[in-house]
């Protein structure tokens, strides 16, 4: 069963200047992004800062209204709703089904609330009675590996990793259909990152979570995702099953991201070319393939023709003229 289908999602922001703040242009933060997430699947959305991945996540959560496109969400089997055009009022009953794990476990928890109240807050809003709330909070603390006594303490008494566990418990309180995790380990020490990744893996197994996992580097998502979508300047440039993408990337930008992953893991590919230059400006992207000024394989066609996202091997999609030419030549 498909839980989420994002169809040609675009989001642009006005650029305003002058005394009267007139609109002088638009930043196309997200352009024609499409993907789906199946029940129990984790899709990682990866790219450098400013590539649009967080904007996609915020559109799905409807913290931002999309400029165009559809966000088909199935809160339960047999029901599919397009979230894109919904008003705040119509979205309200659906919010319990999509929950978020935030990047910063220090900023995302109210320091004046006890942990038990933080975790119980979504239950309270949903009208769950007090006795059931208490039982659920105890269950959730156990689920994320925190002691029952954590309930009556304040967030400052906990380490970064423990706070992220509290954030995860809160996100799971209402048993959501989809969890959106926005860089959930990037603010943590490397050793703590591994603990949180292991916890997420355990929860995937126990609860069959469906998750969109947003991250800026491929090192983090390898063990937690079933598939990976790579974004560059507002567009998805590659989507593939995780093992396939790490073993044989089919877009030069993915190769570059993999080259940037520390090589503690010897099974990762080595020798990929790190791209030269800066990430393109989404307010003024280069014509053709936006990656061409940095791509070691760029040819004339790349400078004028936008490559479409095409299936270049079973289940592997790449927006690259070279990948398509290799496919046509039978090199898959
Ligand atoms: Fe490089 Fe051309 Fe492929 Fe873009 S389309 S990634 S410039 S080879």
CA 109 vs CA 121, 235, 239, 266, 305: distances in Å: 11, 32, 33, 38, 46
Using the mean position of ligand 1's atoms as its centre, give its distance from the Cα of residue 293 in Å. 9
Q: Is 284 part of a structural domain of the chain?
A: yes
CA-nearest residue, atom 5 of ligand 1: 320
Tally of domains in the chain: 1
Q: Is 274 part of a structural domain of the chain?
A: yes
Q: Is 325 part of a structural domain of the chain?
A: yes
Q: Is 36 part of a structural domain of the chain?
A: no
Using the mean position of ligand 1's atoms as its centre, give its distance from the Cα of residue 41 in Å. 29
Q: Is 255 part of a structural domain of the chain?
A: yes
Ligand 1 pocket at CB < 6 A: 251-252, 289, 291-292, 295, 297-298, 302, 307, 320-322
Helix residue ranges per DSSP H, the chain = 53-60, 88-91, 115-125, 130-143, 160-172, 190-207, 218-221, 242-247, 252-259, 300-304, 321-328
- Residue 274: its pLDDT value, please? 54
**Residues with Cβ < 8 Å from 268, sequence gap 6 or more?**
246, 258, 261
- Residue 297: its pLDDT value, please? 94
Cα-Cα-Cα-Cα dihedral sign, residues 109, 117, 214, 58: negative
Q: Is 301 part of a structural domain of the chain?
A: yes
Task: Please give the residue range of the domain that contains residue 288.
Answer: 250-332
Q: Is 318 part of a structural domain of the chain?
A: yes
Using the mean position of ligand 1's atoms as its centre, give its distance from the Cα of residue 290 in Å. 8
Mean pLDDT, residues 224-243: 97
With the most atoms of ligand 1 within 8 angstroms of its CB, the residue from 297, 312, 317 to mutate is 297
The helix/strand count (H/E) of the chain reads as 11, 12
Whether pLDDT at 265 is above 70: no
Whether pLDDT at 152 is above 50: yes
pLDDT above 70 coverage of the chain, percent? 95
């Amino acid at each position: 069963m498909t839980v989420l289908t994002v169809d040609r999602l675009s989001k642009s922001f006005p650029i305003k200047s002058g005394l009267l703040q007139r609109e002088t242009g638009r930043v196309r933060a997200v352009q024609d992004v499409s993907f789906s997430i199946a029940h129990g699947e984790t899709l990682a959305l990866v790219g450098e800062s400013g590539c649009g991945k967080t904007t996609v996540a915020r559109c799905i959560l409807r913290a931002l209204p999309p400029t165009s496109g559809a966000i088909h969400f199935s809160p339960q089997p047999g029901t599919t709703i397009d979230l894109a055009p919904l008003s705040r009022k119509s979205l309200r009953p659906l919010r319990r089904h999509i929950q978020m794990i935030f990047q910063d476990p220090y900023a995302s928890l109210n320091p004046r609330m006890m942990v038990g109240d933080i975790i119980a807050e979504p239950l309270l809003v949903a009208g769950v009675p007090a006795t059931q709330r208490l039982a659920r909070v105890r269950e959730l603390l156990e689920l994320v590996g925190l002691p029952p006594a954590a309930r009556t303490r304040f967030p400052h008494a906990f380490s970064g990793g423990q706070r992220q566990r509290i954030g995860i418990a809160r996100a799971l309180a209402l048993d959501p259909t989809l969890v959106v995790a926005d860089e959930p380990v990037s603010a943590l020490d490397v050793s703590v990152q591994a603990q949180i990744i292991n916890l997420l893996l355990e929860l995937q197994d126990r609860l069959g979570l469906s998750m969109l996992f947003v991250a800026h580097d491929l090192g983090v998502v390898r063990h937690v995702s079933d598939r990976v979508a790579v974004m560059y300047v507002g567009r998805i440039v590659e989507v593939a099953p995780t093992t396939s993408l790490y073993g044989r990337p089919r877009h030069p930008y993915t190769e570059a991201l993999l080259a940037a992953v520390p090589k503690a893991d010897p099974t990762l590919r080595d020798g990929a070319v790190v791209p030269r230059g800066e990430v393109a400006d989404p307010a003024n992207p280069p014509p053709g393939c936006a990656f061409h000024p940095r791509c070691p394989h760029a040819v004339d066609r790349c400078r004028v023709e936008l490559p479409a996202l095409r299936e270049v091997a079973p289940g592997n999609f790449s927006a690259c003229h070279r990948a398509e030419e290799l496919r046509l030549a039978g090199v898959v």
